[in-house]
């Protein structure tokens, strides 16, 4: 028997892909070598466009515990440990969701199980080979070794990906070994914390804003008071002597003294662990030479890693890889994928990864020690008074400047971009666009006069949801969204002209293989909110 999709790795990105495939009607098998989810403290939260993406699937609510839509940070952020004044912007792209990685994994695993995904814990991929029909996967499990045949294997097995190595895919890039990052959950003197701003007032140094890296000519310092947890305190230094000694709070205290020039009396963390106490020397910045090899695809850290110190957290990239690949792979398996659809995964996500690597490397260069870097930073600080520079850097950091090539004229500025959320009025009542995309289906949103796009195109197929609505906002008047919420076509005309209708027809064909006269207008989709699965 051949399984449609096997996912190697039940970390956040593998589980997200499993959810996406399931929403599209394909039930994958997830093989995860760990018997239980890892307790290793990794991500402290999600940053950037991924937060909006998770809102498009109803997952923000589960992660934040709040039914409110996510709100952007419109005050202050950092780029290379320099202030970005987000109040200069009309539309801040910086969204943050402070949730630890183990909770993200827990929520995604619960969702995957709800959607019928089979997760085999304690099962490790140890070998693979491909033929014309399938991938044969060798699995080691507590019950013994066995083989699985799958039409596609996805390597979501992290930075040291076995899938990538067994597929002979190189992982070129650089290992930067001059930098040492020390981090620990620790207590700080309560009277040093400003109750109004949350800043840490360090006598002899000054205020350290929470979650914002600070640079001195000797290194970096950051203070991250996570809700419900002891603060995470970190330093970054260059050219430190190597040591095999276990990391300790004393070592972090000494590092802080070197970086800030003053003492910070850290205490052991209170509350329930696990607590971080780590020293990481060096960092890899690498992008896989291919994201696909025949029937094998890579997502997340298996496809790209970069040094976290430079900013631009990994899950912003990896979770969106999963969302990009899910609907395309499902269409391929159903036999409805237009030519070239699956190849667009690599084209689109490689450019997103390279952009994020650029961001991380630029920020790493700006926080390096030395007076020459200080000079560079002074120039940058002047540039950062310009709102358009702040906008560009905020978008770069958030991964919000990604624009995919959609083919055609791409006349409307939203084409190729992640669709903004909109308040809509449908016959069934008000709804946010983000709520209409939770089924992960293609969506034609018709806000035109008379809402007659479907009739004009004689759409009759159930591959595309069609929602007629009204919006207070002046533009756009119609949008065709891919399941990953990127805009494949848009119009600003109250009555799109024949040329625009032709480009809409071409977009339906290009992305969903929908030929003229084969799309059915669903009465349900037109008249009520889609059900949240
Ligand atoms: C200290 C630290 C802090 C970080 N902070 C942030 C942050 O604040 N925000 C952020 O967005 N990102 C952060 N990151 C990055 C983020 O943790 C990673 O990008 C993320 O874990 C990648 O997810 P993944 O699913 O691709 O891989 P992983 O999380 O590595 O998951 C891979 C899974 O595959 C399993 N596996 C491996 N090999 C096999 C095999 N052969 N067979 C079966 N299963 C296998 C592993 O057991 C694991 O469960 C941080 C990383 C570190 C190390």
> What is the per-residue DSSP string for 303-336?
TEE--GGGS--HHHHHHHHHHHHHHHHHHHHHT-
Measured between alpha carbons, how far is 63 from 46 in angstroms, rounded to an integer? 10
The region, left, alpha or beta by phi > 0 then psi within -120 to 50, assigned to residue 55 is: alpha
What DSSP string describes 223-290?
A: EE--TTSPPEEEEEEESPPP--SPP-HHHHHHHHHHHHSS----B---SSS---EEEEEEEEEEE-S-
> How many angstroms separate the alpha carbon of residue 343 from the centre of ligand 1?
25
> How many angstroms separate the alpha carbon of residue 12 from the centre of ligand 1?
7
Question: Atom 45, ligand 1: which residue's CA is nearest?
Answer: 9
Nearest atom in ligand 1 to the alpha carbon of residue 315 is: 11
> How many angstroms separate the alpha carbon of residue 301 from the centre of ligand 1?
6
Nearest atom in ligand 1 to the alpha carbon of residue 15 is: 25
Q: Taking the CA atoms of the chain, what radius of gyration do you get in angstroms? A: 24
Task: Give the pLDDT of the chain (533 residues) as one tens digit per residue.
Answer: 899 999 999 999 999 999 999 999 999 999 999 999 988 878 888 999 999 999 999 999 999 999 999 999 999 899 999 999 999 999 999 999 989 899 999 999 999 999 999 999 999 999 999 999 999 999 999 999 999 999 999 999 999 999 999 999 999 998 887 889 999 999 999 999 999 999 999 999 999 999 888 999 999 999 999 777 889 999 999 989 989 999 999 999 999 999 999 999 999 998 877 888 999 988 889 999 999 999 999 999 999 998 766 556 899 999 999 999 999 999 999 999 999 999 999 999 999 999 999 998 899 899 998 899 999 999 999 999 999 999 999 999 999 999 999 987 667 999 999 999 999 999 889 999 999 999 999 999 999 998 888 888 877 557 789 999 998 877 799 999 999 999 999 999 999 999 999 999 999 999 998 875 554 443 333 333 333 33
- Could you tell which of 43, 48, 357 is best to mutate to test the pocket of ligand 1, judged by most ligand atoms within 8 Å of the CB? 43
User: What DSSP character marks residue 530?
Assistant: P
With a Cβ cut-off of 6 Å, ligand 1 is lined by: 8-14, 31-34, 38, 42-46, 101, 124-125, 156-158, 162, 300-302, 308, 313-316, 318
Question: Atom 4, ligand 1: which residue's CA is nearest?
Answer: 43
Question: Atom 2, ligand 1: which residue's CA is nearest?
Answer: 42
What DSSP string describes 373-409?
A: HHHHHHHHHHHTTSHHHHHHHHHHHHT-------SS-
Measured between alpha carbons, how far is 289 from 173 in angstroms, rounded to an integer? 10
Count of H helices and E strands in the chain?
14, 26
The helix-helix angle for 343-367 and 314-334 (nearest 10°) equals: 180
Nearest atom in ligand 1 to the alpha carbon of residue 318 is: 26
Measured between alpha carbons, how far is 32 from 356 in angstroms, rounded to an integer? 27
Instruction: Indicate the pairing of strand 2-8 with strand 29-32.
Output: parallel
Burial of 203 per CB tally in 10 Å (0-12, 13-18, 19+): exposed
User: What DSSP character marks residue 418?
Assistant: B
Under DSSP, is residue 13 helix (H, G, I), strand (E, B) or coil? helix
> How many angstroms separate the alpha carbon of residue 303 from the centre of ligand 1?
12
Question: Atom 53, ligand 1: which residue's CA is nearest?
Answer: 42
Measured between alpha carbons, how far is 247 from 320 in angstroms, rounded to an integer? 34
From the list 184, 193, 195, the residue with the least C-alpha distance to 221 is: 184
């Amino acid at each position: 028997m051949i399984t449609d999709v096997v996912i190697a790795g039940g970390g956040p990105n593998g589980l997200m892909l499993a959810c996406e495939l399931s929403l599209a009607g394909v039930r994958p098998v997830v093989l995860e070598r760990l018997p239980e989810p890892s307790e290793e403290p990794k991500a402290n939260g999600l940053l950037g466009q991924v937060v909006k993406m998770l809102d498009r699937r109803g997952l923000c609510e589960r992660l934040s515990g709040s039914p409110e839509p996510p709100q952007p940070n419109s005050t202050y952020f950092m780029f290379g440990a320099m202030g970005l004044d987000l109040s200069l912007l009309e539309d801040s792209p910086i969204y943050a969701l402070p949730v630890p990685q183990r909770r993200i994994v827990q929520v995604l695993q619960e969702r995957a199980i709800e959607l019928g995904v089979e997760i085999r814990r304690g099962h490790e991929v140890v070998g693979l080979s491909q033929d014309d029909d399938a991938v044969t996967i060798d699995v080691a499990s507590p019950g013994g070794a066995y083989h699985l045949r799958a039409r596609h294997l996805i390597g979501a097995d992290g930075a040291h990906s076995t899938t990538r190595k067994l597929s002979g895919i190189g992982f070129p890039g650089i290992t930067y070994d001059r930098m040492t990052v020390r981090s620990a959950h620790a207590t700080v003197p309560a009277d040093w914390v400003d109750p109004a701003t949350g800043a840490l007032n360090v006598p002899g140094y000054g205020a350290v804003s929470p979650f914002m890296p600070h640079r001195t000519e000797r290194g970096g310092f950051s203070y991250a008071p996570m809700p419900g947890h002891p603060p995470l305190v970190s330093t970054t230094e260059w050219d430190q002597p190597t040591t095999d000694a276990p990391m300790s709070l004393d070592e972090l205290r000494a590092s802080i003294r070197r970086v800030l020039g003053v003492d910070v009396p850290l205490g052991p963390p209170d509350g329930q662990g696990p607590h971080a106490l780590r020293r990481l020397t060096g960092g890899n910045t690498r992008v896989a030479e291919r994201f696909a090899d025949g029937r094998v695809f890579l997502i997340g850290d298996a496809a790209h890693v970069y040094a976290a110190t430079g900013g631009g957290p990994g899950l912003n990239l990896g979770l969106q890889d999963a969302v990009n690949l899910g609907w395309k792979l499902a269409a391929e398996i159903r036999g409805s994928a237009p030519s070239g659809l699956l190849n667009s995964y690599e084209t689109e996500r490689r450019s997103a990864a390279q952009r994020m690597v650029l961001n991380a490397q630029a920020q790493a260069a700006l926080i390096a020690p030395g007076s020459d870097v200080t000079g560079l930073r002074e120039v940058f600080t002047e540039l950062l008074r310009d709102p358009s520079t702040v906008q560009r850097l905020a978008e770069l950091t958030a991964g919000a400047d990604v624009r995919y090539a959609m083919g055609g004229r791409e006349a409307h500025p939203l084409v190729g971009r992640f669709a903004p959320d909109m308040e809509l009025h449908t016959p069934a009542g008000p709804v946010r666009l983000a709520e209409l995309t939770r089924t992960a289906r293609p969506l034609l949103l018709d806000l035109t006069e008379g809402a007659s796009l479907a009739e004009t195109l004689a759409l009759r197929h159930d591959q595309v949801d069609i929602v007629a609505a009204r919006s207070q906002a002046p533009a756009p008047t119609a949008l065709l969204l891919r399941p990953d919420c990127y805009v494949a076509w848009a119009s600003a005309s109250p009555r799109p002209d024949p040329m625009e209708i032709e480009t809409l027809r071409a977009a339906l064909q290009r992305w969903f293989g929908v030929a003229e006269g084969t799309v059915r207008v669903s009465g349900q989709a037109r008249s009520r909110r889609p059900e949240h699965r």
